[in-house]
Structure 1
Amino acid sequence: MNKYKRLMVLSFFLAFLFINVRSVNAFSKMNRIYGNNRYDTSVSVSEKNFTASDNVVIASGQSYADSLCAAPLAKKLNAPIILVQKNLNEKAKNEILRLKAKNAYIIGGNGVVSTSVETELKAKGLNISRISGVDRFGTSIEVAKKLNSFNKAFVVLGTNFPDAISVAPVASKDGTPIILTKKDSVPTIVKNYLKGKSITKSYVIGGPQVIKAEGINGISNVERIYGSDRYETNFKIVEKFSQSTLNSIYFASGKDFPDALVASAIAGKQGLPIVLVGDSVNLNMKQFLKGKLGATAGINVLGGEKVLSTALVNSIFTDNSKNDNGSKGNSENMDKASKKIKVCIDAAHGGNDKLSPIGSKGTKEEVVNLSLALKVGRILSDKGLEVFYTRTQDIYLSDSERVSKAKSEGCQLFISIRCNSYTSSSANGIETYYLQGNSSSEKLAKNIHEKIASGVDLKDRGYKPDAIHHILKDVNCPSALIFFGFITNPEDEAKISSSYFQETAAYAIAGGIINYVNSNSNNDDSKVTPTPNPNPSETVVCIDPGHGGYDPGAIGPSGVREKDITLKVALKVGQKLADKGVKVVYTRTSDTVSWPSDVSQDLRKRVDIASNAGSDYYISIHCNSATAAAYGIETYYCNINNSGGKSALLAKNVQDELKKIANYNRGVKTANWYVNKYAKCPSILTEIGFISNAKEEKFLQSSDGQEKIAELIANGILKTMGK
């Protein structure tokens, strides 16, 4: 090799080294915890976090069924979780000896963790406690019995692992049990056990597609937490339960359970979340973490490079305004809508629709359609458009019912999201249809399709006129049908079922819609609904009594329901405002509500009521709930939707009034509650006291207490209005 070639090779090597050093050091403190396999990784987690321990928790690394509920117990015992196969491997044996462990708690019956493991542990002088039930559901109850007293529970699907490992650090931190249930029924052993408990909050992890209403029947004080997939659900959990700032965090693969499971108790002890990562980092999670983590944050990566690459973890702080294919990859680089119109997002098929095709790998079109539709809607809402969905769960609707819904809601654009199918598996690609002869629909389809075609890695079949699909004609507004891949093509199926593809496609579709809206801001291609408030100079205040109907909210020690208190206070607030000449609208005026028994539709309907009334202010009234000792009053607003500081001012003025009667002034705080985030006006959520505190419950229930609270809230609102 001559010297010039050597110099070229050396230059290339140095450039490569420089690039990789920069990548690895995107965080100043990245710590990878891993072994040759899942069993060795569990030992590595133990070595990293324990110098010694009297206790060890033994769980199966082959089956998650019984292992899912182990984390809160491990945290209580201050014990590592060691994964085993049929026998203890040498590393596990040596680690247990190093810890000087005296007690081993085996999770699951003999069919889960064999008697040979128990025999080996006994031979090493350990006391054995086997915790098991007749099945995985029974085991979750037996583990719960070993915890200290609790008044909350996390309820998760027992036949899959992602939601359980997402919530395990939170459950561990608070000593809250993880209770397993079935998709469409509550196991008898679970139902009987919970009957004897005073549960003030049951966090159900997963939407109605994951756990149906029948799967939580009889479980009290339910609050669902879920997203469109396991990674979005993980984001929702991290967002809800994380500390205001994070100096460290854990990352684990969301494709399997072991690595996240063995670290969950440690993460809970440290008050840290575990972020699940698939083929990419959830975009909402990325934005959230950017505001929580700094360059000095400690990053703990669970598993080896093949399980979770350094480049993927570093991508959180990488400027990915463009994906490799040149498409816009996040909402920060997307213009806001220049005018506010209502867009109908239609997830095709659903329920018992026999025309909904299924891919060769079992991918259901109706599920993919809904997942993508919800992602598109979320982005459009963030960019200032009002979104209506024909469905948000797995239900069947005919085309005429979809059209009727869109019309009755006054939608000005209609986007139907679908997958294609064909008798031949070779057919592939994306295509978009518009109503033949309708220039507005053609322009809409063109904007959307050009974004998708340049943004996703699928064959471009073009945008085309259509005279067959009557749904395009019947909606009477600009409309488009998007077929984003052939579910009957194995390669297309693999792509469209991935979270990464769906996020990319969602941003492309949303970008095309916004481009269309902005290019028509001076035209009237769509039917704009009239302003709901006939007197624009009149101030409208929307009062939202929290919970109601199917949802009782929190329940106090004497049985008082939050929904009853919030309604009484809300009506009093409204009357006091009306007496001052303010126009008042309510999201509900009784315990009969205008929305179905579904949390997402419930919250969306409340915001829609306020928006349709042209509200200038939105006040949501709630009671707080925690331990019996917690007390005080606090008021929240959303930083993302601060309306030029008006939400913060409203929160301050209301809290300044309420603190006059507060046992403890808990102050003004920020949070991304749905109603505050998506209200189209300055908005707050006020927690008027702890219903879980017997003294405050009594005050909240009393007519005198409700009168005083209502008067102070009204005073704060009037002060904000300058009255």
Structure 2
Amino acid sequence: MASIAPARPTARIRFGTLALAIAVALGALVASPAAATDAPPRSPAAPTAPGSTAPLSAADAAQAEQAETARVVLTDTPELTPATTASVTGTLVVRDVNGDGPFPAQSGSSWIRFWLLDTATDTWNWVRDVDQFGANGEFTASGFVQGQYRVEFVSYDGAPVREYWDNEPLWFASDILILSAFTSVGLGTVTLEPAPIDFFRIAGDDRYATAVAISQSVIGPGESAPVVYIATGASFADALSAGPAAAERNGVLLLTAPTALPPVVQTELARLDPAEIIVVGGASVVSDGVQAALSAYVASPTDVRRIAGADRYATSRAIVADAFGAGVPDLFIATGRDFPDALAAGPAASRLGGAVLLVDGAAAATDVATRTLITALGTPDLHIAGGLGAVSAGVQASLAAHVGGAATITRYAGDSRYDTALDLNAAVFGPGGADFAFLATGAGFADALAGGPLAAASDAPLYLSTQVCLRDDEYIDMILLLVKEVYALGGTGVLSDRVLSGTTC
């Protein structure tokens, strides 16, 4: 599956004065939530055609993605240099949540964003925002160099809503607008209509089967995996750093029982035909027998290797050093004593091209090995996931003393594990929004461990939820991030159908 994750989303979207519009949107969307389905998953790897409930075939999906191997790059300053230029005109109108309208787009609370494909670097670069509209919603933009563009339309006038050219709800399916020199292209009238969020479930009979279902959403039929990380499904520590590492290498994470490879995992490994398998953790968590059995799924036994340290922190350091090396831009620091903060940090780290590193959050300071690794990684910007109860003030102080002025340190902390995940998502995904979002239980770790690489590949945040209902705060945040589809990870035992029906609490 191709990733559209922004490398460093530093540009800020302007929200304006939107409290009334958001309140109206919430009233309508919460009162009439979208129906849930347990159909597997209409996942980001198998998108559904507009007006259809059947997933696209792998071939159709690949064709729809077009140049979607490219990454999206957001920068503080648009990268457009006017040369032999083209212009774009049109009209943007918006309907409200009741279907009334359409009404002309308003300057300051609606905008159009243009992305140019740089074929040399295979990146989509933001080049222009249009946020000024005429009395009837007319807009004009000029100074475009010739090339291939994707166009994003956003409005907060009646309710938060986003569409892409041409009338597509999701980035990967959007059409490419080709602009030639000295031409003026008219887009006609573009109408934005709010729609409820769609909820879906990705689940298997147990945690191992759920991880397989998630893997199938990352690596489509007929594709092979460059790497598969194998971690125990009986504990969380080793997999917390392995998920972002798998995402960095476009691979997946599968879970295993400590002493035997579950049959469902064996079947999935045969389908994935991985180039490499990495076992994370020592023989006490994933036995030597399991490691030996894995050699049947690669070309040579030497393509299976183990990454392990003396404890969970040493293992985390080894995983990060192996997958990332020098030059990683961002590093998320989370306690290894618990799982929730690191789970939410995984997709956020991946969106920034970064890693998750576990520390002993209760320690008075970071150890020498952690500080040495930070230096070896190029002294990236540091992001602490969790409050002082999770990662102590002493740990933060020692990190600050180590990096000095060479890097920034930011802490994301809420009143609960759910609120910390919200803070992370708002800070990292808020600048650009997200078409997809993922939900995992805040009371367990298994399903979210494997879901991290899928969220990362989908450029999507991971939210934590209670088992019985979706909190208002999470639903509001998804609306503000312009999320179209939400995927719950795991069966009804971890996230009830009330969560998927949009029932809030």
Common topology (TM > 0.5): yes
- What's the counterpart of residue 24 of structure 1? 36
Distance in 1, matches of 2:481 and 2:353, equals: 25
* 1:190 pairs with one of 370, 373, 384: 370
* 2:234 pairs with one of 54, 59, 62: 62
- What's the counterpart of residue 156 of structure 1? 334
Q: CA deviation at 1:222?
A: 2.0
Q: Deviations over 1:349-389 (max 9, x none)?
A: xxxxxxxxxxxxxxxxxxxxxxxxxxxxxxxxxxxxxxxxx
The change in CA–CA distance for 1:28 and 1:292 in structure 2 (over 3 A counts) is: closer
- What's the counterpart of residue 183 of structure 2? none
* 1:79 pairs with one of 251, 259, 267: 251
- What's the counterpart of residue 133 of structure 1? 309
Distance in 1, matches of 2:248 and 2:375, equals: 24
Distance in 2, matches of 1:287 and 1:169, equals: 19
Distance in 2, matches of 1:240 and 1:303, equals: 26
- The one-letter amino acid of 1:169's match is P
The change in CA–CA distance for 1:56 and 1:205 in structure 2 (over 3 A counts) is: same
- What's the counterpart of residue 143 of structure 1? 319
- What's the counterpart of residue 557 of structure 1? none
Matched, 1:39 2:39: no
Q: Deviations over 1:23-66 (max 9, x none)?
A: 43795743211111101100111122213213211111111111
Distance in 1, matches of 2:251 and 2:225, equals: 6
- What's the counterpart of residue 474 of structure 1? none
Q: CA deviation at 1:245?
A: 3.2
Alignment of 1:584-595 (within 5 A): none
Q: What secondary structure sits across from 1:70 in the alignment? A: helix
Percent identity over the alignment is 26
- The one-letter amino acid of 2:341's match is D
Q: CA deviation at 1:176?
A: 1.2
Contact 1:31 1:300 in 2 (8 A): yes
The change in CA–CA distance for 1:251 and 1:142 in structure 2 (over 3 A counts) is: same
Alignment of 1:271-670 (within 5 A): 271-279=459-467, 280-293=469-482, 297-315=484-502
Distance in 2, matches of 1:204 and 1:246, equals: 22
- What's the counterpart of residue 107 of structure 1? 280
Distance in 2, matches of 1:87 and 1:188, equals: 36
Equivalent pairs, count: 298
Give the TM-score of the pair, scaled to structure 2: 0.55
- What's the counterpart of residue 622 of structure 1? none
Contact 1:206 1:224 in 2 (8 A): yes
Matched, 1:215 2:401: no
* 2:386 pairs with one of 177, 199, 206: 206
Pick the structure with greater CA Rg.
1
Contact 1:253 1:278 in 2 (8 A): yes
**Which structure carries more relative contact order (alpha carbon 8 Å, separation 6+)?**
2
In the alignment, structure 1 segments of 5+ residues that lack a partner are 1-18, 321-723
- What's the counterpart of residue 416 of structure 2? 229
Contact 1:41 1:259 in 2 (8 A): yes
Q: What secondary structure sits across from 2:498 in the alignment? A: helix
Tell me the C-alpha RMSD between the 2 structures.
2.4
Matched, 1:90 2:263: yes
In the alignment, structure 2 segments of 5+ residues that lack a partner are 1-30, 38-194
Distance in 2, matches of 1:22 and 1:198, equals: 46
Q: What secondary structure sits across from 2:474 in the alignment? A: helix
Contact 1:72 1:175 in 2 (8 A): no
Distance in 1, matches of 2:256 and 2:233, equals: 6
By percentage of residues, which structure has more strand? 2
- The one-letter amino acid of 2:481's match is K
Matched, 1:262 2:450: yes
Q: CA deviation at 1:268?
A: 1.1
When structure 1 is superposed on structure 2, of 262-271 and 193-202 the one drifting more is 193-202
- The one-letter amino acid of 2:236's match is Y
- The one-letter amino acid of 1:245's match is G
Q: What secondary structure sits across from 1:163 in the alignment? A: helix
The change in CA–CA distance for 1:97 and 1:197 in structure 2 (over 3 A counts) is: closer
The change in CA–CA distance for 1:81 and 1:163 in structure 2 (over 3 A counts) is: same
